[in-house]
Structure 1
Amino acid sequence: MIRLGLRLTLSGGREAAARLAVIAAAVALGVGLLLSTLAALNAVTTQNNRNAWLNTGAVTAEQEHAPSTADPLWWLLRADNFDGHLIGRIDLAATGPHAPIPPGIPRLPGPGEFYASPALGALLRTVPADQLADRYPGHQVGTIGDSALPGPDSLVIVIGRTPAQLSGDPEARHVTSIMTASPADCSGSNCRVGTNSNGMDLILSVVAAALIFPVLILIATATRLAATRREQRFAAMRLIGATPRQVSAVSAVESSVAAVIGVAFGFGLFYLVRPLLAQVDFTNTPFFLSDLSLNATDVLLIALGVPVGAAVSARLALRRVQISPLGVTRRVTPRPPRAYRVIPLVAGLLELAYFIGRRPADSGGQIRAFLPGIFLVLGGIVFAGPWLTMIGGRLMARRTHRPARLVAGRRLSDDPKAGFRAVSGLVLALCITSAAVGVINALTAEQGVPQGSASLSSTVIGDYRHYDDHGNQLDSAASPPEALLSALRATAGVQGLTVIHADPHPAPSDHLAGGLATCAQLATLPTAFGHCPAGAQTASVGPSFSVVGLDRLLSWPAVWPSAPATAAQLQNLPVDQIVVATDGSKSAIEQARTLLATAYPDQEQPFTIAEDRSQMSQRLSGYQQLADVVIAVSFPVAGCSLAVSVAGGLRDRKRPFSLLRLTGVQLGVLRRVVMLESAVPLLVVAAVAIGTGFLTAQLFLQAQFGYSLRAPGAEYYLIIGGGLVAALAVIGSTLPLLTRITGPEVARNE
């Protein structure tokens, strides 16, 4: 029977060859996307692992108990910025010749030397020195290797210092080994850089649920192509004496051959698009090409799983043949789907609703709580789709007397599974998109930081306060010299300057007190920072102007209360912050930042308010990035599934359509039938899927955050409208096939 199956598959004429080619092409596309998804998941983990060394200095069991004969190394990790891009700055000072060496560099840099990543090195060579290079003492002695960089565009610098320079810094750490544990294996303060285990679980779970589902639907749709024609042929084999086992063997061979060919081309497609995939901004930085790798488990899972899945799918598709071959030859109407198909969908929604007010405390528990509900909702939409399609078809058939609508409605009522199968991938994409947009909109509204005016966002702040582990302020920096203030005022694009001095006697109950500033300087800042009352020389202000408008529970005052101190007395007080208002130009921002960094080399690097807000909402940006990737991938995959299914459905029914043409039915009527058979289940189930997506988002937001759903913006409607229009265009693109398969010769040959 295996030989017969191979002969029918490879030597069955033009129709068999065309069917084999279409199935193999669709499987190849699905396998290529599936391999790309798996490789991207592996790349996320690999990329995250390269952040391990940057967490050196965190107190972990690895560093506390690891025996070491190395000389201690002073380690100071700080964040710098340039043009909105984060720069990782590591200052090192060896206390002996056997100090540990970070990865990516051949030796420790000495005082006055530094290593820079390739991307940062290019900036240092091309950007004016007063905007970047002047911040880093010494000269570059080498380039940091890829093994120490998260991505090819990472900005990292390792600077050599003396022990005396770092030993007095409260943020510096004395270490005897470089961290090697992945950020995915740590938590809390031990993961200053990278994504911890909870975050990695979230990323991998979301990607697996949202991306692999549509790809599997595409593969399943492809392997069922021309299922009706095969049912007829295998039913005829049963009627002439073939046993069910023999029919199953032939069917498995036919499906597996196409799947094996598709898998082989799918691997080739993956390696062809791999360089393009490396440029996708999946985690806010591109991948190295070598990151996009497949392990042995991935290869075996796809190479063996897809053909086996194709054989199983073909076996399940022949249930009617195995039970009663006469039922196929006589065109017996399948049993209609029942209302119980909505049970998994309702169960998923109830599961999510159960955790409102009962959210598990840890991230692992939250994933175990919400993922089953999300999977039930996604699977429930697909499982309930045929029943919803049947309802839509019956309503259309009852409410019309037009032939196209009547034929399409009766067809959907009689075989709703086939009608829904064509649009299942797109419906799933609509549900995923609606849920993702709903969650992101609510998080942005609740957690997103208001950007304010351009002048507010482009304000540069040097923050010189230090705190202990309990949040108590330890000290501030020395008051800035007049030369620094003059240089800042003389910088082109600098529009205002205010020095916030530490108040020696702050009001104990006022959260917006603790700083002192002169009214003359406050008047140069944007109005959002507030101003002095009339006639005052100094004002009692907040110690941190970087949080202006951030805390919705605090009302940022428009007028600060006057202070008893004089402007001259403030000059002798330590400084908490230096606030520099700019016109937003890159040169003004970076020159002001460089002047502050040079004047206070042992302090935290200056930042703009926009950069500070961006880093504070980094997790939200990551969610947005994941949502964009999910939407960008799921819609094209769903479109491919739709095209394959509609084209396959046309070929399955070429004899009925040909007979209708012979009886005088116009080609235009048949085209409207095809359009309606796909458009009705698409629109009916899509409405349910979109509503379900938003309801899922609402339940998740209530359970996880206590937030409520927000109305989507215009971008959402463009995405959904564009997706539906593209789906109708895909259906329309298959209509020319109808002309070729409904000629008189088809009916005669059949």
Structure 2
Amino acid sequence: MSAGQWTRDLAMGVRFAFAGGREGWVRALLTAVGVGLGVALLLLTTAVPNAIAERDRREDARSDHTISQPDTPKADDTLIVLNADTTFRDRDVRGRLLEAEGPKAPLPPGVAAFPAAGEMVVSPALRELLASDEGALLRERLDYRVAGTIGEEGLVGSRELAYFAGGEDLAQRLGHSTGARIDHFGDDDLAPSAPWGPVLLLLILVVFVVLLMPVAVFIAAAVRFGGERRDQRLAALRLVGSDSRATRRIAAGEALAGSVLGLVLGTGFFLLGRQLAASVEVFNVSVFPSYLNPSPLLAALVALAVPTAAVLVTILALRGVVIEPLGVVRTARPVRRRLWWRLLLPLGGLAMLLPMTGQGDDGGNFNQFLVVGGVVCLLVGVTALLPWVVETAVARLGAGGVAWQLAVRRLQLSSGAAARQVNGIAVAVAGAIALQMLFAGVGDTYVQASRYDVSRAQMSVDLPEGAAAAPAIGKYRETEGVRKVTALSSVYLGDRHGDKSSYLEVTVADCASLREAATLPSCRDGDVFAVEGAEHDDGGDHLAEPGTTLWTDPGDTARSGDRPVSWTVPQGIRQAQPREDPAGYARGGILLTPGALPGKLGTVLSVQLFVSLDPSVPDAYDHVRNTAARLDPTARPTTLRGSETNERFDTIRTGLSVGAVCVLALIGASLLVSQLEQLRERRRLLSALVALGTRRRTLSLSVLWQTAVPIGLGLLLAATVGMGLGAVLLRMADNPVRVDWRSVLSMTGAGAGVVVVVTLLSLPPLLRLMRPEGLRTE
């Protein structure tokens, strides 16, 4: 067959799609919408690398070296920056206090002019939040006048909460707060990041495959919309002399037309979504439209792959259909599907993955091609097995009500179409179950229990150095939602001036607070205790002997005066046993009650508070943060959590959550389009049944059963394949196989929920189609 004949037949199919009357246009439009939704998500995926790179670039460009910065002398081009980050409910707020030390001081990216003392410039999202009723608590904390808005260049996301506030006399706080004196923004000496572990790379690979496979399945299903009406037109072509091969090529031309139109619509959907991206935040992640620029090479690959796939899918689908001049043999009872070749795909996928079992992090990186190929084969195996499962199951369904019989007979005649509708959601659920099992299995490596005792305290606060401790502690105890405050003050003392080889920790607190840090025999104000055998003893136990004179470090003289402070261990010192404080720290050294504390020693103490909250008080955490901000704008109370998560693992999990939301949205939209297309093809049949007296309620239930039965079978198959794939992935990561039933049920429920929503949305069009007027024809 010459290329010219292929071109002529494909071109004729394109003409049929656009010049074949209303029927051809509707089918082409439905195909284009289905394909376009998938193309939009593919284009979004190709834009992800650029979005990540742009976020990182902006983060580096606004870096102010607040973690580690060599000493920079004061000059006319220096700027003092203090970290004033905070948290409002579950959202982080990036904050900085600024004070320019000369006319050439560098401006932060996105800021047109330095805010004056008492003023701040804010991100658009923060301005919106502060102006709303929801931001009332945050307005108390950020007690500045809004003087401007941070431009896009100074933000990493459109919904980021950030501010720059002006300050005075910040230089004297450089030693006490997280901050620096800088002469430029941006990190010139960015240290190379540590390499990603093999298991984390495995997670990334599987996430991308699992999120993209449903998109490919939906595109393949979309190009087959309107198959029954198309076959009628193809039979007419055979009647006028076209042979079977040319007829299939003409059908491929129709699919090609729909897919090309889908590329156009998909580009439009993507551009529309790109503009709407600035107003959306998913799992605290947001982007600017300018971030979403697809890679030209990947976008070109999508533009070539989609039409090519449309042509191939159509030709392969018609190989089992006999199109004759007087009709299509598909309307007869189909030949029973064979199982053996459908098992080859999942078995091939297992053959690719099983050699890597037990590899884990110690066996080097996983073979990317085998991982991608194996996961793809297993997920595509769902689409191959599902038609056989649906056909076998519905063939055994028996008698029931009228609605049930209508649904079952329809499924028995067109089980393939029902399976195609379910394929995408089955692949998505199978992949999601496998991923959730993998995340749960490796979670013990990347999510570990912290040492914090969250039953005793939920927040920790360090008081600013030099602040009066008693009034500050009183303010925290008076804060709304605070049930208890444990105040532990500490300082390190040595036996000689400046000798750091022998020293011990001295902790000062009242009896109730000391019992949170040690096991005491009895306690009253004025007592002194020595703690032996603590985890963090520094070899200074002998300094706790009565009569020993201890001295403060010379670095503490800035707070205590020009001379170091001394203290002599009293004769009546008693023994106490160590106990971990709410932060998991077992203190050693000496414990003092306030009555035994010399006055001068109190000027060099560092005070740490542990705050216990009343869970019944709304926003108790934010009330504590507001109190901390009133005492020190740079204070950032620490929320004590029962577990600690690896940052990279958490990033991958967040990316999966964002991608899953996008894929679920695609699933819902595509299912709705597919449902409407099937209803459109059956409108004459539905109208005939209504005209013969069938109740609308019966027909509605039959349509519901036609959706519910294949969905139930598809979700059952998806759960089986997903658990199998999850088990293999866990063995590859060298983790024991555990079925996370909660994830299995939640993912299956999410898939079923999407179907329920789509079914409810399709009921109004169904009721409109069930009218006798639907029998009218031209």
Query: TM-score if structure 2 supplies the norm length?
Result: 0.69
CA contact (8 A) 2:490 2:606 kept: yes
- How far the C-alpha of 1:222 sits from its partner, in A, is 2.0
**Contact 1:532–1:561 (CA<8 Å) still a contact in 2?**
no
Structural mapping, 1:566-645, within 5 Å: 566-569=593-596, 572=601, 574-575=605-606, 577-581=608-612, 585=620, 588-597=623-632, 605-610=635-640, 622=651, 625-645=654-674
Match runs of 1:216-295 below 5 Å: 216-231=216-231, 233-234=233-234, 237-238=237-238, 241-242=241-242, 246-282=246-282, 284-294=284-294
Pairing 1:104–2:130 present? no
In structure 2, do the counterparts of structure 1 residues 568 and 629 end up closer, same or farther at CA, with 3 Å as the change threshold?
same
Residue 155 of structure 1: how far off its partner (Å): 1.7
Which residue is 2:344 aligned to?
343
Deviates more, 1:636-645 or 1:327-336: 327-336
Q: Shift of the alpha carbon at 1:589?
A: 0.9
Deviations 1:331-382 (A, max 9, x none): 5845723323233334545655655531135996597775554433322222
Instruction: Give how far 1:385 is off.
Output: 2.0
Please give the alpha-carbon distance, in whole angstroms, between the structure 2 residues aligned to 1:405 and 1:130: 60
What one-letter code is carried by the residue in structure 1 that aligns with 2:417? A
Report the residue type matching 2:719 in the other structure.
I
C-alpha distance 635-449 of structure 1, shift in aligned 2 (>3 A): same
- Counterpart amino acid of 1:535? C
Aligned letter for 1:337?
R
Task: Tell whether 2:717 aligns with 1:688.
Answer: yes
CA distance in 1: counterparts of 2:123 and 2:625, whole angstroms: 19
From the superposition, tell whether residues 142 and 278 of structure 1 become closer, same or farther in structure 2 (CA, over 3 Å): closer
Greater mean deviation of Cα atoms: 321-330 or 366-375: 321-330
- Structure 2 unaligned spans of 5+: 1-7, 71-75, 495-503, 538-577
Once structures 1 and 2 are overlaid, which stretch shifts more, 586-595 or 106-115? Answer: 106-115
**Equivalent residue, structure 1, for 2:485:** 497
Q: Which residue of 1 aligns with 2:426?
A: 427
Q: 1:459-482 CA distances to partner (integer Å, 9 max, x unpaired)?
A: 342288xxxxxxxxxxxx678544
What is the rounded CA distance, in whole Å, between the counterparts of 1:550 and 1:484 in structure 2? Answer: 20
Change (3 A) 1:442 1:742: farther
Q: Measure how far apart 1:173 and its partner are.
A: 6.7
In structure 2, what is the equivalent of residue 21 of structure 1?
29
Contact 1:114/1:157 (8 A) holds in 2: yes
Instruction: Write the distance in 1 (CA, Å) between the matches of 2:245 and 2:383.
Output: 30
CA gap of 1:160–1:699, structure 2 versus 1, over 3 A, is: farther
SS in 1 for 2:279: coil
Counterparts of 1:355-504 in structure 2, within 5 Å, are 355-360=356-361, 365=366, 371-394=372-395, 396=396, 417-438=416-437, 447=447, 459-462=459-462, 481-489=469-477, 494-502=482-490, 504=492
Which residue, 513, 519, 529 being the options, matches 1:522? 513
Q: Which residue of 1 aligns with 2:541?
A: none
- Residue type matched to 1:688 in 2? L
Sort the Cα spacing of 1:336 and 1:664 in 2 relative to 1 into closer, same or farther, 3 A.
farther
- In structure 1, the residue matched to 2:141 is 132
What is the rounded CA distance, in whole Å, between the counterparts of 1:238 and 1:434 in structure 2?
A: 47
The equivalent of 1:193 in structure 2 is none
Cα pair 1:701 1:709 within 8 Å, conserved: no
- Larger Rg over CA atoms: 2
The answer to whether the 8 A contact 1:27-1:266 is kept is yes
Q: Deviations over 1:401-443 (max 9, x none)?
A: 9999889778867875434212111212322443455456667
1:658-673 equivalent positions in 2, closer than 5 A: none
1:144 aligns with one of 150, 153, 162? 150
SS of the aligned residue for 1:499 comes to: strand
Instruction: Report deviation, 1:687.
Output: 0.7
| Structure 1: unaligned runs, 5 residues or longer | 65-69, 190-195, 465-476, 507-512
Change (3 A) 1:350 1:178: farther
- Structure 2 distance, partners of 1:39, 1:711, is 34
Contact 2:66 2:82 in 1 (8 A): no
Match of 1:510 in 2: none
Per the alignment, residue 470 of structure 1 pairs with none
> Alignment partner for residue 753 of structure 2, among 699, 702, 722?
722
Pairs within 5 Å for 1:306-321: 306-320=306-320
SS at 1:379 equivalent: helix
SS of structure 1 residue aligned to 2:267: helix
Are 2:94 and 1:88 aligned? yes
Deviation for aligned residue 1:689: 0.7
- Larger deviation: 146-155 or 726-735? 726-735
The whole-number CA distance in structure 2 between the counterparts of 1:112 and 1:363 is 55
Aligned-partner Cα distance in 1 for 2:366–2:26: 50
Please say if residues 214 and 429 of structure 1, whose CA atoms lie closer than 8 Å, have aligned partners that are also in contact: yes
Matched position secondary structure for 1:712: helix
2:164 alignment counterpart: 157
Task: Supply the distance in 2 between the matched residues of 1:566 and 1:166 (Cα, whole angstroms).
Answer: 30
> What is the rounded CA distance, in whole Å, between the counterparts of 2:107 and 2:276 in structure 1?
34
Aligned in 2, Cα 1:148/1:277: closer, same or farther, shift over 3 Å?
A: closer
Deviation (angstroms), 1:609 = 2.0
Measure, in 1, the Cα distance between the counterparts of 2:288 and 2:716: 41
Which stretch of structure 1 is more off in the superposition, 664-673 or 28-37?
Answer: 664-673
Please state which structure has a larger fraction of its residues in helix: 1
The 1:319/1:516 distance shift into structure 2, 3 A limit, reads same
Retained in 2: the 8 A contact 1:5–1:250? yes
In 2, are the aligned partners of 1:80 and 1:606 still within 8 Å (CA)?
A: yes
CA contact under 8 A between 2:121 and 2:165: conserved in structure 1?
Answer: yes
Please give the alpha-carbon distance, in whole angstroms, between the structure 2 residues aligned to 1:368 and 1:575.
56
Does 2:38 correspond to 1:9? no
Kindly provide the amino acid, as one letter, of the partner of residue 164 in structure 2: I
Q: Is the CA contact 1:278–1:289 (under 8 Å) kept in the aligned structure 2?
A: yes
After superposition, the Cα gap between the structure-2 partners of 1:107 and 1:667, relative to the gap in structure 1 and judged at 3 Å, is closer
Which deviates the most, 303-312 or 366-375? 366-375
What is the DSSP-based 3-state SS (H/G/I as helix, E as strand, rest coil) of the residue aligned with 2:488? strand
Hey, what's the Cα distance between the residues in 1 that align with 2:701 and 2:78? 78
Q: Are residues 670 and 296 of structure 1, via their aligned partners in 2, closer, same or farther at CA, if it must alter by over 3 Å?
A: same
Task: Give the structure 1 partner of residue 60 of structure 2.
Answer: 52
> Is the CA contact (8 Å cut-off) linking 1:391 and 1:413 kept in structure 2?
no
Of 151-160 and 649-658, the range deviating more from structure 2? 649-658
Q: CA–CA distance in 1 between the matches of 2:453 and 2:730?
A: 30
- Tell me: CA distance 1:695–1:308, structure 2 relative to 1, closer, same or farther (3 Å): closer
The more displaced of 297-306 and 686-695 is 297-306
Answer whether contact 2:206 2:435 (CA < 8 A) is retained: no
Instruction: State the alpha-carbon separation in 2 of the partners of residues 113 and 364 from structure 1.
Output: 52
Contact 2:199–2:733 (8 Å) recurs in 1:
no
| 8 Å contact from structure 1 (residues 239, 325) kept in 2 | yes
Aligned residues: 696
* CA distance in structure 2 between the aligned counterparts of 1:218 and 1:182, rounded to whole angstroms: 46
Deviations 1:293-317 (A, max 9, x none): 4454465455554344333333333
